[in-house]
Structure formats: C-alpha cells, structure tokens
Amino acid sequence: MQASNNYQTTTNYFLGFSRIVTGLLFIFSGLIKANDPTGFGYKLEEYFHVFGTHFLNDYAVAIAIVVCGFEVLLGALLLLGFWGRSVAWGLLILILFFTFLTFYSAFFEVVTSCGCFGDAIPLTPWQSFGKDLVLLALILVIFVNRKRIKPITSDRYTQSITTVALVVISLGIGIYTVNFLPFIDFLPYKKGNHLPALMTLPEGAEGDQYEVVYTLKHKTSGEKKNVSDKVYLAEELWKDDNWEIIGDPESRLVKKGYQVPIPDLLITDANGDDFTQQLIENPYYNIIVVAWDLESTNLNALRTINALVMNAAEAYNIRSILLTASSTQEAERISNELDLLMEVFYADAVPLKSMVRANPGILLMQNGTVIDKWHYNTLPTFDVLDKTYFSKDY
C-alpha cells in the first residue's frame, strides 16, 4: 500500500510538472506568434512551398491565427484542467505534427528557421526539433495520465464560459495584430532603429568565415582528393601538373560570425540604379509607403495615403516614395490609375515584408531613423502628423 501511494504521489508530481511547463510553453509560443501572425504566415508559406501545397498560400495568415490561438487555448485549458482528455489528445496530435515538421526541416535543410517563437527567439531547425522532443516527452506523460487531470472547478457552466472566453481572446489577439500592427516589434525596422547602422558590419566585428574547397584529380592514377584553398596555396598544388581541378569549387562555412540585422535591402529605380543610401539616409522627414505586392494591396488605403502625401508635399515639400516588389509595369499602372504623387522605387519582397506588416504600410523616417510606422488602418491624419512631427522641425 505504501509503495502504491508513493507511486501515485510521484506520478502526480510528474504530471503536475509536465502540465505547468507544457501549458506555459504553449501559451508563450502561441502569444509570441499571435503578436505577428502575418510573419508566421510567411513562414507557413515556406512550408507550403516545400510540400507543394501552394494553394494554401492565400489562407496562410488565417491558418496562422488559428494555430496561434489553438496553442494558447490548449496551454490555458491544460493549466486549468478543463476538458483534460480532449486537451491531451490535442496536445499529442499537435506536438507530433510539429516534431515531424522540425525534423523534416532540419534533416533536409529546407526551412532555415522554424518560426516556433516568431522573430522574438529565432531557433535553428535542429534546436526546434530538440525543443519539440522535450515537449513530446512531457506531453506523453500528460497523455498517459490524462484521466488524472483534475479541473480547478467541476462546474461545467463555468468551464464552458471560460473556454469560450479563451477562444475569443486567443483568436482576437491575432486578428487585432493583423489589422493593426504587432504589439511588440521584433524586426530590425522597428520604431527608433537607425537603419544604416543595422546594414553594416560594426567596427571590430567579424562576419562569416568561409573556405573554398577544390576537388583535385591525379592525371595518372585517377586519385581524387578535396583540399581547401589554404592548403592548395600553401602546398603550391597549382604548380603540380599531375593534379587538375575538376568541377566547381565549393564554398563552406568555417566559422559563424556577426549577422548584420539588415543584410538584403537594396532600393533601385526602374533602371536598376541604386538609391538605397540616398533614400534611407535622407536628413529630412520622408514618408516611405511599403506596398510589396501591388496586385493584392488595399487600393483604397493607397488613395488615402496619397491624399496625406499631397498635403505633406504642399505644406513642407516632404519627399514621399512608394517601395514595391511588383513589376515596373504593374507599378506604373497603379500609379497612373490612382494618380499617385509618390516616387516609385523597387526592392526585394523579403525586406519589404519585414519593414511593416501591412500592404500597404507607412514608415516616417528622418536621417536614417524610423521615427514611426503605421498599418494603413491606423494611419493618422495629416493634421496629427503635422502637430506631432512636421511643424516642430520647420
């Protein structure tokens, strides 16, 4: 009897520990991604590409909101002990799915970052896989002992009302941030950041170090060997006529160095001329409108922004530009259709998606610093901008 009691006590401790850790991790993971479901949606599109399910791309953000909400809901219900058996099944199915995805990403090197904790805590696929294995072990403890999960209250009405409230809250967070902006901006283009400083390697910092590997073949024996560029030069193999290089040299990462936060921003005009420095480091206020995909952008929002831009140009001669990853033809068509006052420039979609989670979104910049940024749903009027910013500097 004593042994049985000790076993039950130990099991209850393991179950309690597993519930607390798993519940908190699921809530944290869900909330971090719900803070930026648009970014999580971009990550889902990478997985859709890998598995050939491109038809889901149009629903990526909606799926992201549901997944984030489901994580928060399961974590909260687990801590409360409500619907224990159903929650245990949900957790097991979800973690098995996540574990498969992270292993597949890591083993086949198809997605470089899983997006488990959004941009707040970037994890490599192998780190994500390890995290999922730990969670799988904890969830197996919960699943095996699912009948032992006791709710904090046995009143079904209270459980139902609480569950409905959790569903509304968990989904509502994602819906809100998609239509406004993330509560916390973890991206390098956040308010207050000085972009030029984030686009260059700091003094004293070292970037990634690579070596070039050559495949050599002996002309007589047919022997093959791989040598690095340092060995190739040090041993003066290039002077030895008995060896010849076959194939293309391979570049290998030797040492991971400092990662520049903004490594890929290149702004050009329609002719391909580089305007990055001129536009980003403009010493005066300038309005940057980001509409990375003009085919799916909100045209009514662009009209509203254009009216604000006209007022800013008339009152203070403030420069305004439209940044897009769309084709020149599409940009010219939209510009002519809406009679846009903004100058049109072009950049890759990846950095534009990171600038602001809206299509279109707006950045107010000065001297390379992001003064403020808005979703088109939260864009202030010209009078507000004038009072808050423009009139103070003119």
Handedness of CA 372, 377, 378, 379 (dihedral sign): positive
* Residues 177-195: tens digit of each pLDDT: 999 999 999 999 999 999 9
- How many of the other CB atoms lie within 10 Å of CB of 268? 14
- How much is the average pLDDT of 346-362? 96
Q: Of 229, 138, 179, which Cα lies nearest the Cα of 357? A: 179
Q: Would you say 294 and 325 are in contact if contact means Cβ atoms under 8 Å apart?
A: no
Distance CA 365, CA 271 (A): 24
How do 286-290 and 319-324 pair as beta strands?
Answer: parallel
Q: What percent of the chain has pLDDT over 90?
A: 70
- How much is the average pLDDT of 377-384? 95
The single-letter DSSP state of residue 388 is I
Q: How many residues does the chain have?
A: 394
Distances (CA, A) of 332 to 322, 335, 337, 339: 11, 5, 8, 10
Q: What pLDDT does residue 394 have? A: 53
Residue 6 has pLDDT above 70, yes or no: no
Lowest mean pLDDT among 100-104, 179-183, 234-238: 234-238
- How much is the average pLDDT of 24-46? 93
Contacts 24+ apart (CB under 8 A), 247-255: 247/215, 249/212, 249/213, 249/214, 250/212, 250/213, 250/215, 251/210, 251/211, 251/212, 251/213, 252/210, 252/211, 252/212, 252/213, 253/208, 253/209, 253/210, 254/209, 254/210, 254/211, 255/206, 255/208, 255/209
Q: Which two tokens stand for residue 131?
A: 């995290």
Distance CA 117, CA 127 (A): 12
Tokens 């979104």 correspond to what residue? Answer: 361
Q: What pLDDT does residue 4 have? A: 56
Residue 209: helix, strand or coil by DSSP?
A: strand
Distances (CA, A) of 114 to 106, 139, 170, 383: 9, 20, 21, 43
Contacts of 167 (CB under 8 A, 6+ apart): 69, 73
Residue 225: helix, strand or coil by DSSP?
A: strand
Higher pLDDT: 5 or 167? It is 167
* Residues 64-79: tens digit of each pLDDT: 999 999 999 999 999 9
Distance CA 158, CA 164 (A): 10
Distance CA 168, CA 146 (A): 26
Q: What pLDDT does residue 13 have? A: 85
Q: What percent of the chain has pLDDT over 70?
A: 95
Contacts of 103 (CB under 8 A, 6+ apart): 129
Q: What pLDDT does residue 118 have? A: 62
Handedness of CA 339, 344, 347, 351 (dihedral sign): negative
Residue 300 has pLDDT above 90, yes or no: yes
Burial string for 186-214 (b: 16+ CB within 10 Å, else e) reads: bbbbeeebebeebbeeeeeeeeeeeeeeb
Q: Which two tokens stand for residue 312?
A: 């800013």
217 forms beta bridges with 224, 244
* Residues 259-283: tens digit of each pLDDT: 899 999 999 999 999 999 999 999 9
Handedness of CA 271, 277, 279, 284 (dihedral sign): negative
Q: Which two tokens stand for residue 12?
A: 């209850």
Contacts of 342 (CB under 8 A, 6+ apart): 287, 289, 306, 309, 320, 321, 322, 335
Distances (CA, A) of 246 to 272, 281, 343: 36, 46, 49
The single-letter DSSP state of residue 260 is -
